Amino acid sequence: KVTFDGKAWTQEGYYVGASNDKVWHEGNDGTGSGLDADKLDGKHASNFATASHTHNASQVSIVDSNENFTSTSVEGALNELFTSVSNGKTGIASAITDKGVPASGSDSFSTLATKIGQIETSGGFISSIQSGNATLDVDNPSKNITINTINTNRAVILVTSASYQIRSAFVAGKIVDSTTINLYRATNADAKSDISWQVIEFGDGVVKSLQKDSYYFSSSNGTVTINPIDPSKALLLFSFYAGGTDTLSIMRGYIYDSTTLKFYKQGAGSAYFRVEWQVVEFY
């Protein structure tokens, strides 16, 4: 029963009016009552996150108007960004290493910047040329010669020799270390060898790769496998000596393809050859 005393309504029952509307009071409103005032736009508080709630990045969508990412979530976009940065660092590190300063894609940007500053920039095609003359004889078939310090990663040696006896005319030369070269010939050569040598050190940023080694062959030809190069930007240099009892042969060599050198014996002799070869690949 609802009564009005002239100032306020009082309620003794739960329903009033023709539609039996429920009368709300402090005893039956609040949480769980179903009263619309307990909701926001028809949704209960349980439909909304609390202030302490967090979302997984994979569940948060992004609007990418410039189409910079293929992913549609924050997590995916971040993964793409980190991958792009990592690939970029690896490319930078590779370029730094090619300039003679070892670097890694795992280096920090600060470390990469420091290593970039360590790259030498001499600016010239040739940094230095050293040259000299020497002799070898029966008692001295090999000789070490001290030179000024060089960078062995971008230096080559050229050797020419002569003798009145053919076996003694062939002399090989190699760079031993940054301050030493070695000249040598067959141990059974029995005349004096007159030698002229040059050590050429190329400038920084000129040589992309330098491969060198010794190679022995006694058949009519020999094949050497090397690391891949661009033959159109590479040069083969070599010196050699001929040994054996019959040295009426000379030899030639060339770059056959990107991973192969070939050497051929010319003449009717049965000599064996020791070759000191160098392959310089330029940028």
Helix (H, G, I), strand (E, B) or coil at 56: coil
Tokens of 206: 């000129």
Domain tally, the chain:
2
DSSP per residue, 147-212? -----GGGEEEEEEEE-SSGGGG--EEEEEETTEEEEE--TT--S-EEEEEEEEEEPTTTEEEEEE
Q: Shortest CA distance to 116 belongs to which of 106, 131, 104, 101?
A: 101
176 neighbors 182 (Cβ within 8 angstroms)? yes
Tokens of 163: 């003798």
Higher pLDDT, 182 or 268: 182
Residue linked to tokens 């190329």: 202
| Domain identity same for 183 and 209 | yes
| Domain identity same for 101 and 203 | no
Mean pLDDT over 105-133 rounds to 85
| Domain identity same for 179 and 246 | yes
| Domain identity same for 218 and 141 | yes
| Domain identity same for 189 and 226 | yes
Which range marks the domain in which residue 102 is found?
57-117
- Dist CA 14 CA 33 (whole Å): 14
Higher pLDDT, 262 or 242: 262
Q: Determine, yes or no, domain membership for 93.
A: yes
DSSP per residue, 110-143? HHHHHHHHTS-----SEEEEEEEEEEE-SS-SEE
| Domain identity same for 107 and 130 | no
Share of the chain above pLDDT 70, in %: 82
In this predicted model, what pLDDT tens digit does every residue of 191-207 receive, in sequence order?
Answer: 999 999 999 999 988 99
Give the mean pLDDT of the chain.
83
| Residues contacting 105, CB < 8 A, separation 6+ | 86, 89, 90, 93, 94
Lowest mean pLDDT among 10-19, 92-101, 234-243: 10-19
- Dist CA 163 CA 126 (whole Å): 31
Residue 280 has what pLDDT? 97
Q: Determine, yes or no, domain membership for 36.
A: no
